[in-house]
């Protein structure tokens, strides 16, 4: 019975991952994932700087992460354009945060490009995650 | 009298045959015809993936609001990188999955009334914006501009669910409209 459950669990996990839906993860796992791809140890201070770094956009307005995520990370944010509610980033109030690597990667890619005009490096992603993990 | 019966018979046969050759997800022409529910509105979104991926940033517009030609343009990889000024890049597997389901349920495949009207008004055009569909444009023609753009809780016709209280169910009937700061909209 036990073996049956294990086999079922294994195949379900593989199937879900193969479908491209989720890659279950945790903050420690993400730290080692990005840490292994960074030259410096991950640092929440550098992450904080990047989070609040203002970058001019083509429309002349300044952009930083707080434009959509708000000033208080334990509160909901709001999509700059559509006003759609964005759940809090702080893992202390939002247990769903940083539990799916696929999702983390997707939003880092989109949002770094939107905010900074380029993709973030593994170092930057790791630093930002360190900063967010303390919230 | 006899010929009348024959003609009716032939017509019925044609309808049933036509129905059996069309196999849309909604059940096809025959089930649409025989159904008591007249499919007045737009088919509600069926896919959870679509709701999650597209609905994360905006109201998940029903696939039946645009023809497949429009969805194809919108979901091209380059187009998603600049999705009305936003980056909406998707990984290739997910992009193809979403495109497939949008094409499958696009306006031209639907028997719902509003999808039919949308198709009839488009005349082959494939606009990028739902608000550019002549039928949609015409339906909003009488709403005074002051209730839309300067209205903080509306801002644009793109935010369907700002006024259409049952937009998430694909229902856009006049009776379900409530404009923030104005109230019900019926005439």
Grade residue B34 by pLDDT with cuts at 50, 70 and 90. low
pLDDT at B80 (0 to 100)? 96
Asked whether residue A70 is domain-assigned, the answer is yes
> Quick check: A111 contacting B, CB < 8 Å?
yes
Spatial contact of A25 and A99, defined as CB atoms under 8 Å apart: yes
| Residue A72 lies in domain | 25-133
Asked whether residue A118 is domain-assigned, the answer is yes
Domain boundaries, chain B: 2-34, 140-187
Asked whether residue A10 is domain-assigned, the answer is no
Chain A residue with minimum CA distance to B93: A20
Grade residue B187 by pLDDT with cuts at 50, 70 and 90. low
Query: d(Cα A68, Cα A75) in Å, to the nearest integer?
Result: 11
Domain count, chain A: 1
Residue A24 DSSP code: B
User: What is the domain-level CATH number for residue A114?
Assistant: 1.10.760.10
B38-86 pLDDT tens trace: 578 999 999 999 999 999 999 999 999 999 999 999 999 999 999 998 9
Asked whether residue A101 is domain-assigned, the answer is yes
pLDDT at A58 (0 to 100)? 85
What ipTM score was computed for the predicted complex, to two decimals?
A: 0.74
Within 8 A of A110 by CB-CB distance, chain B residues are: 86-89
Q: Is the pLDDT of residue B36 over 70?
A: no
Of B44, B60, B33, the C-alpha closest to B160 is B60
Q: What three-state secondary structure class fits B29?
A: helix
Chain B residue with minimum CA distance to A77: B57
Grade residue B17 by pLDDT with cuts at 50, 70 and 90. very low
For the whole model, what pTM was predicted? 0.78
Query: d(Cα A32, Cα A35) in Å, to the nearest integer?
Result: 5
Asked whether residue A80 is domain-assigned, the answer is yes
Chain B residues whose C-beta is within 8 A of a chain A C-beta are 49, 56-59, 81, 84-91, 93-94, 97, 155, 159
Of B85, B93, B97, the CB nearest to A81: B85
How many residue contacts between A and B have a Cβ separation below 8 Å? 37
Asked whether residue A121 is domain-assigned, the answer is yes
Residue A121 DSSP code: P
Asked whether residue A92 is domain-assigned, the answer is yes
């Amino acid at each position: 019975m036990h073996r049956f459950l294990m086999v079922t669990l294994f195949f379900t996990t593989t199937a879900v991952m193969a479908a491209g839906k989720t890659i279950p993860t945790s903050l420690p796992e993400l730290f080692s994932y990005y840490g292994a791809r960074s030259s410096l140890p991950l640092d929440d201070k550098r992450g904080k700087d990047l989070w609040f770094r203002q970058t001019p956009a083509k429309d002349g307005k300044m952009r930083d992460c707080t434009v959509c995520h708000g000033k208080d990370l334990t509160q909901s944010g709001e999509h700059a354009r559509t006003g759609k509610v964005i759940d809090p980033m702080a893992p202390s109030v939002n247990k769903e945060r940083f539990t799916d690597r696929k999702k983390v990667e997707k939003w880092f890619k989109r949002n770094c490009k939107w905010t900074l005009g380029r993709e973030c490096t593994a170092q930057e992603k790791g630093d930002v995650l360190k900063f967010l993990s303390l919230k | 009298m006899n010929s009348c019966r024959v003609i009716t018979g032939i017509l019925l046969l044609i309808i049933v045959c036509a129905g059996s050759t069309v196999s849309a997800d909604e059940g096809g022409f025959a089930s649409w015809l025989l159904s008591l529910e007249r499919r007045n509105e737009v088919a509600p979104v069926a896919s959870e993936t679509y709701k999650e991926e597209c609905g994360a940033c905006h109201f998940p517009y029903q696939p039946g609001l645009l023809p497949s030609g429009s969805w194809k343009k919108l979901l091209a990889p380059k187009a998603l990188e600049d999705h009305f000024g936003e980056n909406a890049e998707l990984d290739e597997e997910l992009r193809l999955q979403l495109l497939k389901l949008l094409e499958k349920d696009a306006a031209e495949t639907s028997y719902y009334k509003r999808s039919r009207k949308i198709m009839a008004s488009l005349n082959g055009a494939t606009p990028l914006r739902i608000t550019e569909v002549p039928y949609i444009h015409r339906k909003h023609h009488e709403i005074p501009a002051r209730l839309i753009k300067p209205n903080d809780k509306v801002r644009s016709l793109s935010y369907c669910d700002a006024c259409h209280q049952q937009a998430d169910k694909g229902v856009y009937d006049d009776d379900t409209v409530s404009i923030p700061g104005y109230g019900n909209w019926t005439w």
